[in-house]
């Protein structure tokens, strides 16, 4: 059963090149996040089917690994081209099951395809080294090999792009892959798999197992304990990341973790005011604030603070909220009632501790999981939203006086994924770039995502990098070969 989406959208899981049901035939519903209506049902799988998918990936590994990088690249490029050709259908599906406005979904499909294109190219440049030897009768070479069977667990906030950001470097490096997409948004992942199949990805090289919320821990445990799996890549909450990391440690498996953030967004008095305002709006309200790199704490220098807060509140109040499929909509629904409850909790906590509400603050009159774009002023470090990721449309501001103070405040968080700074002072650009404890710094920009740059965090935001030339390194083993050489015959 599938209504209201492109007819070719699969609703079965994908294992070993076959579209399959769960063994017990159980399925779970996927809903339209704007209306709550069921749009399809997909298999609710368990560790048993996951083990089978891992075996399929293991069986497919020797032939995939034996191909040249150029042959693998050809398939990845075809896959990207198919995604771009079907961009409208994929974007509509993404908006239906995730909620973001159609224009953002269109951008995400292009972003997702860009990882396939980038790593198709990068896979051809996995160079090794020849190292000057330590003894005259030795030669030393280093080469890099795909690590083998890998697993990915991806989130609902970017249901297409997070799939290709992991799978593309893995496949380009000669690994095979088993994916578990988020239970809120499995259809986008299955649609990506269907296009991979059309592009010629051999059966077993890319597999997708779907499950409901209750089954996720069991599948994660299988991925992190199965001896065949050599690496697990996860994007999601820090709490779940820590569990997966412990499980991987038990089995000495590699893991990369792109976890929560609590991004500071810093605006100095000398900033280009209009640019900073635009940057804050896009950075905060894109995807209804449901990105790991969303501005969670906005620090504005005292000289412009009041004017900036008022302007941001005015612009936020003007944002059009509605179903992502409707034209002109700038903010869709939140992913779930739990997400709404968390946003409400953060706002209530901040207000109880003295923050002032400048706009929004309530569930939207549209009902469901729609929420008003919200701006709060006068936050402090004790409030829940200063230490935990809000993951919703709440811009929270406070004034600051000087550079040292704001660096201290910005770094006063366990997280370290993204930070943003607006200033026209060139020396400050350098100082802040170095001082901020985050894996990514947006300097005079609120948009930092691209396939060409390394995406990832430090501290409790995890480790490992996705995208860019660095992104391939997480998917290869470095092997050193020491060759003993004999002297030519007749020589001593
Ligand atoms: C994320 O929120 O995890 C990804 C955001 C992005 O790549 O822009």
H helices, E strands: number in the chain: 14, 22
Atom of ligand 1 nearest to the CA of 294: 2
**Cα of 115 to ligand 1 centre, how many Å?**
13
pLDDT digits over 267-296, tens only? 999 999 999 999 999 999 999 999 999 999
Mean pLDDT of the chain: 97
Nearest CA to ligand 1 atom 7: 449
175, 248, 283, 292: which is the annotated catalytic residue?
292
Active site residue 248: no
Q: Model confidence over 442-457: pLDDT tens digits?
A: 999 999 999 999 999 9
Protein residue with its CA nearest to atom 5 in ligand 1: 291
Q: 456 CA distance to ligand 1 centroid (A)?
A: 9
> Can you spell out the DSSP letters for 130-152?
EE--SSTTEEEEEEEEE-SEEEE
- 448 Cα–ligand 1 center, Å: 9
Residue 489's pLDDT is what? 84
Which two tokens mark 163?
Answer: 């799939």
Q: Each residue of 397-420: pLDDT tens digit? A: 999 999 999 999 999 999 999 999
DSSP 252: T
Question: Ligand 1: distance of its center to the CA of 287 in Å?
Answer: 10
Residue 126: predicted pLDDT: 97
In which band, very low, low, confident or very high, does the pLDDT at 166 lie, cut at 50, 70 and 90? very high
Tell how far the Cα of 354 is from the centroid of ligand 1, in angstroms.
31
Q: What is the C-alpha separation between 30 and 212, in angstroms, rounded?
A: 10
Percent of the chain with pLDDT over 90: 97
Look at residue 491 in the predicted model and tell me its pLDDT.
Answer: 66
- Tokens found for residue 264: 């500071």
Cα–Cα distances in Å, from 26 out to 13, 48, 439?
12, 13, 41
Please, which pLDDT band fits residue 4 given cuts at 50, 70 and 90? low
- Using a CB cutoff of 8 Å and minimum separation of 24, what contacts does 408-412 make? 409/264, 409/297, 409/299, 409/381, 410/264, 410/266, 410/297, 410/299, 410/436, 410/437, 411/435, 411/436, 411/437, 412/381
Ligand 1 atom, smallest distance to 290 CA: 2
**Which two three-digit tokens encode residue 489?**
């015959």
Give the Å distance between the CA of 158 and the centre of ligand 1.
7
Best residue among 292, 295, 442 to mutate for probing ligand 1's pocket (most ligand atoms within 8 Å of CB) is 292
Mean pLDDT over 114-125 rounds to 98
* Nearest CA among 289, 278, 459, 456 for reference residue 389: 289
Atom number, ligand 1, closest to the C-alpha of residue 291: 2
Residues 309-355 have pLDDT tens digits of: 999 999 999 999 999 999 999 999 999 999 999 999 999 999 999 99
CA of 403 to the centre of ligand 1 (A): 28
157, 182, 259, 438: residue to mutate for ligand 1 pocket, most atoms within 8 A of CB: 157
The whole-angstrom separation of Cα 386 and Cα 388 is 6
DSSP annotation string for 317-368: HTPPBS-TTSTT--B---S-HHHHHHHHHHHHHHHHTT-EEEE--SB-TT-T
CA angle, 438 as apex, 436 and 443 as ends, to 5°? Answer: 65
**Alpha-carbon span 430 to 241, nearest angstrom:** 32
79 vs 136: CA distance, rounded Å: 48
Probe ligand 1: pick from 449, 461, 471, max atoms within 8 Å of CB? 449
Give the integer Cα–Cα distance in Å for 415 and 435. 15
Nearest residue by C-alpha to atom 8 in ligand 1: 449
pLDDT at res. 281? 98
pLDDT higher than threshold 60 for residue 160:
yes
pLDDT of 169 over the 60 cut: yes
User: For residue 188, which of 83, 50, 44, 76 has the smallest C-alpha distance?
Assistant: 83
Supply 413's token pair.
Answer: 């968080």
Question: Which atom of ligand 1 is nearest the CA belonging to 292?
Answer: 2
pLDDT of residue 488: 87
Among 104, 122, 183, 258, the one annotated catalytic? 258
pLDDT at 431 over 80: yes
Residue 212's pLDDT is 97
Is it the case that residue 149 has pLDDT exceeding 80?
yes
Q: H or E stretch including 73?
A: helix 69-85
- Is pTM beyond 0.85? Reply is yes
Dist. CA 201–CA 199, nearest whole Å: 6
pLDDT at 5: 64
> What are phi and psi for residue 131, nearest 5 degrees?
-110, 135
**Structure confidence at residue 304 as a pLDDT band (50, 70, 90):** very high
Q: How far apart are CA 300 and CA 311, in angstroms?
A: 12
Measured CA distances, 297 to 254, 265, 376, 383, 485 (Å): 33, 6, 10, 11, 61
Dist. CA 386–CA 350, nearest whole Å: 9
CA distance 68 to 174: 9
Which atom of ligand 1 is closest in space to residue 448's alpha carbon?
Answer: 8
Q: Are strands 356-359 and 374-377 parallel, antiparallel or unpaired?
A: antiparallel
Q: What band does 490 get if pLDDT is binned at 50, 70 and 90?
A: confident
Using CB atoms within 10 A of its CB, is residue 337 exposed (0-12), middle (13-18) or buried (19+)?
A: exposed
The reported pLDDT for the residue numbered 408 is: 98
pLDDT interval class at 492 (50, 70, 90): low
Residue count (the chain): 492
List pLDDT tens digits, range 229-282: 999 999 999 999 999 999 999 999 999 999 999 999 999 999 999 999 999 999
Q: Ligand 1: residues whose CB is within 6 Å? A: 157-158, 235, 258, 291-293, 449, 455
Tell me the C-alpha distance between 100 and 95, whole Å.
5
- Report pLDDT digits (tens) over 186-237: 999 999 999 999 999 999 999 999 999 999 999 999 999 999 999 999 999 9
> Which of 100, 152, 157, 158 is the best mutation target for the ligand 1 pocket, counting ligand atoms within 8 Å of the beta carbon and taking the most?
158
pLDDT for the residue numbered 342: 97
CB 372 within 8 A of CB 394: no
Which atom of ligand 1 is found nearest the CA of 449?
8
Coil, strand or helix at 28: strand
């Amino acid at each position: 059963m599938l209504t209201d989406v492109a007819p070719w959208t699969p609703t079965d899981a994908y294992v070993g090149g076959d579209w399959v049901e769960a063994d017990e035939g159980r399925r779970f519903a996927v809903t339209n996040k704007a209306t709550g209506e069921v749009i399809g049902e997909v298999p609710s799988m368990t560790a048993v089917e996951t083990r089978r998918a891992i075996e399929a990936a293991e069986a497919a590994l020797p032939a995939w690994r034996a191909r040249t990088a150029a042959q693998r690249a050809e398939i990845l490029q075809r896959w990207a081209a198919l995604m771009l050709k079907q961009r409208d259908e994929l974007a509509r599906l993404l908006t239906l099951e995730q909620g973001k406005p159609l224009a953002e979904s269109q951008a995400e499909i292009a972003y997702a395809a860009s990882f396939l294109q980038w790593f198709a190219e990068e896979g051809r440049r996995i160079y090794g080294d020849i190292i000057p030897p330590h003894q005259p009768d030795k030669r030393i070479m280093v080469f890099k090999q795909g690590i083998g069977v890998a697993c990915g667990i991806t989130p609902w906030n970017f249901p297409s792009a997070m799939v290709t950001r992991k799978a593309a470097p893995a496949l380009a490096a000669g690994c095979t892959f088993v994916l578990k997409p988020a239970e809120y948004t499995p259809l986008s992942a299955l649609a990506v798999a269907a296009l991979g199949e059309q592009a010629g990805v051999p059966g077993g090289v890319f597999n997708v197992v779907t499950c409901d919320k209750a089954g996720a821990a069991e599948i994660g445990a299988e991925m992190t304990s199965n001896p065949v799996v050599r690496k697990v890549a996860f994007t999601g909450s820090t709490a779940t990341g820590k569990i997966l990391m412990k499980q991987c440690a038990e089995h000495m498996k590699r893991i990369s973790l792109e976890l929560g953030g609590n991004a500071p967004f810093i605006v100095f008095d000398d900033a280009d005011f209009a640019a900073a305002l635009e940057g804050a709006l896009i950075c905060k309200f894109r995807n209804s604030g449901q990105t790991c790199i969303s501005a969670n704490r906005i620090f504005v220098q005292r000289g412009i603070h009041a004017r900036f807060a008022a302007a941001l509140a005015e612009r936020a109040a003007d944002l059009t909220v509605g179903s992502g499929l409707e034209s002109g909509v700038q903010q869709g629904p939140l992913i779930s009632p739990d997400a709404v409850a968390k946003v409400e909790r953060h706002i209530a906590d901040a207000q109880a501790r003295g923050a002032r509400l400048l706009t929004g603050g309530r569930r939207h009159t549209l009902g469901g999981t729609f929420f008003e774009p919200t701006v709060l002023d006068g936050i402090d470090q004790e409030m829940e939203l200063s230490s935990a990721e809000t993951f919703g449309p709440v811009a929270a501001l406070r004034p600051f006086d000087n550079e040292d103070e704001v660096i201290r405040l910005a770094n006063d968080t366990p997280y370290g994924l993204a930070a943003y700074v607006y200033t026209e002072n060139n020396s400050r650009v350098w100082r802040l770039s170095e001082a901020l404890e985050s894996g990514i710094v947006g300097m005079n920009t609120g948009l930092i995502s691209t396939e060409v740059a390394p995406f990832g965090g430090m501290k409790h935001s995890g480790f490992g990098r996705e995208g860019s030339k660095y992104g391939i390194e997480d998917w290869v083993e470095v092997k050193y070969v020491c060759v003993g050489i004999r002297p030519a015959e007749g020589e001593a």
